[in-house]
Chains A and B, each alone.
Chain A
Amino acid sequence: MEKKATAKHKPAGRKKNRQLGLFEPAAPQKQPVEVEPAQEKSSAAPPQRRSSPSMAERLAREQREISVSEFFSKNRHLLGFDNPQKALLTAVKEAVDNSLDACEEAGILPEIKVSIQPVSETRFKVVICDNGPGIIHGQVGKIFGKLLYGSKFHRLKQSRGQQGIGISAAVMYSQLTTGKPVIITSRTRADRPAHRLGVKIDTRRNAPEIVLDEQTSWPEASETGTLVELELEGVYRGGKRSVDQYIQQTAIANPHATIHYHDPMGQEHHYNRLTDKLPPQPTQIKPHPHGVELGMLASMLKETRARNLKTALSRDFSRVSERIALAICQQAGVSPEARPHKLALSEIEALHRAMGQVKIISPPTSCVVPIGEELLRRSLEQGVQADFFTSITRPPAVYRGNPFQIEAALAWGGNLPAEELCTLLRFANRVPLQYQQSDCAITRAVMEVDWRNYRVQQARGALPSGPLVVLVHIASVWVPFTSESKEAVARYPEIVREIKLALQQLGRRLGLYLSARRRDAEQQRKASYIETYIPHIGIALQEILGLKDEEKTRLENTLKDTLQRSRRLV
């Protein structure tokens, strides 16, 4: 972390424009890097992966000098701070997601401590501590005290950072509600002391304001790490969509991480890692022509370093050879030798259409990293008390040029409530999705599966019911969310189809399990039936025929044999 941060220190000049990237998936901001020079430049243009710019985007375009704090308070719902309960959750989420990302990028097995202490009824102190690489002194202010610092605009790489806008938004919220700075303690090398900084955001300039800067000793056992303390207005509630559930689900989706959670009631929860193997770092891929949208294409062509269109296409896109590039140009009726930045909008539109028409092989799918079938099952086993577990990792697939991979798992029986709808756990790139369940493609797919085929009850058009947990994870370089708040996956047919296939496979296994169990119970019942009543047949025949006891016993045993044999045949 430290190394990267120093090596790729950014010129300050790029920051102004960053505002335009507001609604890009929040980058894990502790790793403000990983951006190629070409992409670095292109990131200056408005990212247009969304089909229509949101209200806030348009607002941002018109008002370059908008006050960040004003912007924040107007748009807090987009950033996950719309109500005090969610604000607490979002703050924890941002910090935990960042910690996990930082650890993984540094090749460290994450061990994260989360603590929420009530200061008053509506105010909480949130402390998140990781064993990551730490943050060098010079970066702390920018990461925590500057909204929209660090991003990854045209980078197509599976990462968390699906929620809200990053840790600086949490700092902002904390500052708005309590007026207090965020305290960051971090150590980047075992042989050096830690530094402790108090950071506030200068909302007028959107710049960090360091209110405390001191050397201190690192309070944790790990060699390096970061400890973040912030205080904010919030409401703590248990149950669905609570921080507790977020932590628990995060532990399920990250079996390589150990998480300690100290909840506001003072209770300790420990989630120990199931594996010492870090998931492989996802590789980055270039956009695939089938997934690119018009605006993005326009900006890519504007930013390209290639001198002609043919080269631009084959260099900046995934799976585009020179031959394919020529085919696209021909289909679009645009000269392959044209200068990319000089293309007219109509020509770009023609190119965009052509890209959809020319046959191009799917993007490489190796860039998607699933949790893994076995690990997912074991992880669910640890998180849920049930009798039966099964899991599946589907082969990677592609929607609109974006590789993705579906994993699913089921848990049945045990302590799960039998009379209610199933519990549905949704994950996108290992991050739990806790809101907007009904809008999500995952929910839709679960409802579309006919669970009655698998001996599970299900009302028409509803989730199945019974002692059942359904877990679905979508890993993708680009998870299509239905809205900016990034809580529901959009219903692309390819995605729904893959989820359904995964669930159907699991459903069949569950059905087999359930019918085997029913058969066992039936056999048990029949066996006891035989044991119970055959002696009475013996007694009756003995009484009528005056049999001797040996004869009676022989009779009973023969009959038992006969019935048990026929039972197996049935």
Chain B
Amino acid sequence: MAGKKKSRSEEQASGLQTKVSRRMLQSIQEQARSVEQHILQGKKPSLRFPVRSLANVRYRPEVGYFELRGRKKERTLTVGTVKTFAQTLRMMALSKELVQGDDIATKREAYYVSKNWGPARFNEQPESDTVIDDIEALFQVNREQLGFIPEEKGGEVAGRLVVLDRDRDSGKLLRIDCTRFGSGAYSIPISVEHLGFETDAKFILAIETAGMFQRLVKHNYWKKADCILVSMGGVPTRACRRFIRRLSDEKKLPVYVFVDCDPYGIGNIYRTLKVGSGNAAHINEYFCVPRARYLGITPDDITHYQLPTHPLKDVDIKRAKDALKNDPFILRYKEWQEAFEKLMKMGVRAEQQALAKWGLNYVIDTYLPEKLAHPEKFLP
């Protein structure tokens, strides 16, 4: 799990990096060689990708994350696929160049590089992102290993944590104290493999919205509750998932998740943090937090705390129905099915900030303490 410039500063990681890069280069060349040989034999070459969808993952609690079920799609070079095939190969060539030159490109940059490919260029970034994701899945690696990095921000951290990083130029160890950001926070970098941690916190609280995170930071909630606060800002990025995973693994910390009570908060944000996604199933093993538990807001909280609600939107209902039908994680837990059904029956959703109905600091003074008193009641 390397592939970032920053990691070079760590000697140990540096050796690892070279090894990984060499292996990566070899894979790309082998794949290209196979295509070349097929062509020269007058055969139509093909590439085999794992199917990237929820339908091709399996969930087992003892493993803890979505595993690929091994179904593959084959993209054979025909007249109809020649364009995508050419684009995939050119993207592989770009990746080879990046890995070889120890360089990186953001997905956006990769998209712009393609503008130099004449008719094989991409018209929109989602097209090039899909091809990158395909290649990533083809080699069963993390896109950072291919030299591609995302634009997305990793998330923010505050609380009882010291992050160990190294200065890029001097290679000196940096101790980043997450209690000392005042009303600000520490930003999770895109690659987190090289980070070290020191903490005496009792748990990690992962929060959906920046607004709620801000409130808890402002009132130094982490001090009061002895915890580390992480703002996910919607569906957690890979870096954010990996950060929480490494931190919680290394320090044996429980992870509690605090999100809105709606099908998106549960089915997308929480589910992805805990078990990964269908789209990137080939790397879920590292990019998920199986020990995460759902603190709230639960459907029961809505009635218990008499929270103000909004009606479920059509997309919410569709998402809930879809989850109940297709999501292997939801299908594994009766509790979640009941929660979804209850939500649909009530026909409403509630946001984290709805707690403000009882006073702005109700969440700090009453809600969280009450919930944290009974972690065994958290949803799986």
Tell me whether B32 and A541 are in contact (CB under 8 A): yes
- Is A52 positioned at the interface, with any CB of B under 8 Å from its CB? no
Contact digits for B156-194, partner A, Cβ 8 Å, 1 yes 0 no: 000000000000000000000000000000000000000
**Complex interface residues of chain B between 253 and 276 (CB less than 8 A to chain A):** none
Tell me whether A544 and B79 are in contact (CB under 8 A): no
- Using known A-B contacts A532-B119, A540-B86, A544-B28, determine if residue A555 contacts B39 with beta carbons closer than 8 Å: yes
Tell me whether A544 and B29 are in contact (CB under 8 A): yes
Tell me whether A555 and B36 are in contact (CB under 8 A): yes
Tell me whether B119 and A544 are in contact (CB under 8 A): no
C-alpha gap A566/B43 in the complex (Å): 10
Tell me whether A562 and B82 are in contact (CB under 8 A): no
Tell me whether B44 and A544 are in contact (CB under 8 A): no
Chain B residues near A550: list those with CB within 8 A.
Answer: none
C-alpha gap A544/B24 in the complex (Å): 12
C-alpha gap A337/B48 in the complex (Å): 96
- Using known A-B contacts A526-B79, A529-B79, determine if residue A544 contacts B86 with beta carbons closer than 8 Å: no
Number of A-B contacts (CB under 8 A): 82
- Is B222 positioned at the interface, with any CB of A under 8 Å from its CB? no
C-alpha gap A372/B30 in the complex (Å): 69
Q: What is the CB-to-nearest-CB distance from B14 to chain A, in angstroms, rounded to a whole number? A: 25
- Is A558 positioned at the interface, with any CB of B under 8 Å from its CB? yes
**Complex interface residues of chain B between 110 and 124 (CB less than 8 A to chain A):** 117-120
Tell me whether A537 and B86 are in contact (CB under 8 A): yes
- Using known A-B contacts A537-B85, A541-B32, determine if residue A559 contacts B39 with beta carbons closer than 8 Å: yes
Chain B residues near A424: list those with CB within 8 A.
Answer: none
- Using known A-B contacts A533-B119, A559-B39, A566-B44, determine if residue A545 contacts B82 with beta carbons closer than 8 Å: no
- Using known A-B contacts A530-B82, A544-B96, A566-B78, determine if residue A536 contacts B39 with beta carbons closer than 8 Å: no
Tell me whether B82 and A534 are in contact (CB under 8 A): yes
C-alpha gap A555/B79 in the complex (Å): 16
Chain B residues near A530: list those with CB within 8 A.
Answer: 79, 82
Chain B residues near A529: list those with CB within 8 A.
Answer: 79, 82-83
Chain A residues near B101: list those with CB within 8 A.
Answer: none
A559 to B, closest residue via Cβ: B39
C-alpha gap A532/B83 in the complex (Å): 8
Chain A residues near B87: list those with CB within 8 A.
Answer: 536
Q: What is the CB-to-nearest-CB distance from A215 to chain B, in angstroms, rounded to a whole number? A: 81
C-alpha gap A562/B79 in the complex (Å): 10
C-alpha gap A536/B90 in the complex (Å): 7
- Is A539 positioned at the interface, with any CB of B under 8 Å from its CB? yes
C-alpha gap A532/B119 in the complex (Å): 7
- Using known A-B contacts A533-B86, A558-B42, A561-B42, determine if residue A543 contacts B93 with beta carbons closer than 8 Å: yes
Contact digits for A504-545, partner B, Cβ 8 Å, 1 yes 0 no: 000000000000000000000010011011101101110111
- Is A456 positioned at the interface, with any CB of B under 8 Å from its CB? no
Residue from A530, A554, A562 having most chain B Cβ neighbours under 10 A: A562
* Other-chain residue from B79, B89, B93, B120 in contact with A563 (beta carbon distance below 8 A): B79
Tell me whether A536 and B86 are in contact (CB under 8 A): yes
- Using known A-B contacts A536-B90, A536-B120, determine if residue A541 contacts B79 with beta carbons closer than 8 Å: no
- Is B40 positioned at the interface, with any CB of A under 8 Å from its CB? yes
- Is A567 positioned at the interface, with any CB of B under 8 Å from its CB? yes
Chain A residues near B36: list those with CB within 8 A.
Answer: 541, 545, 547, 555
C-alpha gap A561/B33 in the complex (Å): 19
Chain B residues near A537: list those with CB within 8 A.
Answer: 35, 77, 82, 85-86, 89
Tell me whether A545 and B29 are in contact (CB under 8 A): yes
Q: What is the CB-to-nearest-CB distance from B326 to chain A, in angstroms, rounded to a whole number? A: 35
Tell me whether A533 and B39 are in contact (CB under 8 A): no
- Is B229 positioned at the interface, with any CB of A under 8 Å from its CB? no
C-alpha gap A92/B281 in the complex (Å): 82
Chain B residues near A543: list those with CB within 8 A.
Answer: 93, 96-97
C-alpha gap A545/B96 in the complex (Å): 10
Chain B residues near A541: list those with CB within 8 A.
Answer: 32, 35-36, 89, 93
* Other-chain residue from A545, A555, A563 in contact with B44 (beta carbon distance below 8 A): A563
Tell me whether A540 and B79 are in contact (CB under 8 A): no
Tell me whether B83 and A533 are in contact (CB under 8 A): yes
**Complex interface residues of chain A between 144 and 169 (CB less than 8 A to chain B):** none
Q: What is the CB-to-nearest-CB distance from B311 to chain A, in angstroms, rounded to a whole number? A: 42
Q: What is the CB-to-nearest-CB distance from B99 to chain A, in angstroms, rounded to a whole number? A: 11
C-alpha gap A567/B92 in the complex (Å): 27
C-alpha gap A526/B78 in the complex (Å): 10
C-alpha gap A541/B39 in the complex (Å): 11
A551 to B, closest residue via Cβ: B36
Chain A residues near B33: list those with CB within 8 A.
Answer: 545
Q: What is the CB-to-nearest-CB distance from A402 to chain B, in angstroms, rounded to a whole number? A: 57
Chain A residues near B35: list those with CB within 8 A.
Answer: 537, 541
B31 to A, closest residue via Cβ: A544
Q: What is the CB-to-nearest-CB distance from B35 to chain A, in angstroms, rounded to a whole number? A: 7
C-alpha gap A543/B85 in the complex (Å): 15
Tell me whether A563 and B42 are in contact (CB under 8 A): no
- Using known A-B contacts A543-B96, A555-B36, A563-B79, determine if residue A536 contacts B89 with beta carbons closer than 8 Å: yes
B36 to A, closest residue via Cβ: A541
C-alpha gap A537/B119 in the complex (Å): 12
Chain A residues near B82: list those with CB within 8 A.
Answer: 529-530, 533-534, 537, 563
C-alpha gap A238/B17 in the complex (Å): 83
- Using known A-B contacts A529-B83, A530-B79, determine if residue A540 contacts B90 with beta carbons closer than 8 Å: yes
Tell me whether B89 and A562 are in contact (CB under 8 A): no
Contact digits for B22-53, partner A, Cβ 8 Å, 1 yes 0 no: 00000011001101100110111000000000
Tell me whether A545 and B78 are in contact (CB under 8 A): no
Chain B residues near A545: list those with CB within 8 A.
Answer: 29, 32-33, 36
Q: What is the CB-to-nearest-CB distance from B118 to chain A, in angstroms, rounded to a whole number? A: 8
C-alpha gap A529/B85 in the complex (Å): 12
A537 to B, closest residue via Cβ: B86
Q: What is the CB-to-nearest-CB distance from A422 to chain B, in angstroms, rounded to a whole number? A: 34
Residue from B40, B77, B82, B92 having most chain A Cβ neighbours under 10 A: B82
Tell me whether B79 and A558 are in contact (CB under 8 A): no
A567 to B, closest residue via Cβ: B79
Q: What is the CB-to-nearest-CB distance from B138 to chain A, in angstroms, rounded to a whole number? A: 14
C-alpha gap A304/B17 in the complex (Å): 117
C-alpha gap A563/B76 in the complex (Å): 11
Tell me whether A562 and B28 are in contact (CB under 8 A): no
Q: What is the CB-to-nearest-CB distance from A324 to chain B, in angstroms, rounded to a whole number? A: 69
B121 to A, closest residue via Cβ: A536
Contact digits for B87-108, partner A, Cβ 8 Å, 1 yes 0 no: 1011011001100000000000
- B interface, CB within 8 angstroms of A: 28-29, 32-33, 35-36, 39-40, 42-44, 77-79, 82-83, 85-87, 89-90, 92-93, 96-97, 117-120
The 5 closest A-B pairs by CB, nearest first: A540-B89, A536-B86, A543-B93, A544-B32, A536-B120
Q: Can you spell out 7 A-B residue pairs with CB atoms less than 8 angstroms apart? A: A536-B89, A536-B119, A539-B93, A544-B32, A555-B39, A566-B44, A566-B78
Other 7 A-B pairs with CB < 8 A, given A541-B89, A554-B40: A534-B86, A536-B86, A536-B118, A537-B82, A544-B96, A562-B43, A563-B78
- A interface, CB within 8 angstroms of B: 526, 529-530, 532-534, 536-537, 539-541, 543-545, 547, 554-555, 558-559, 561-563, 566-567
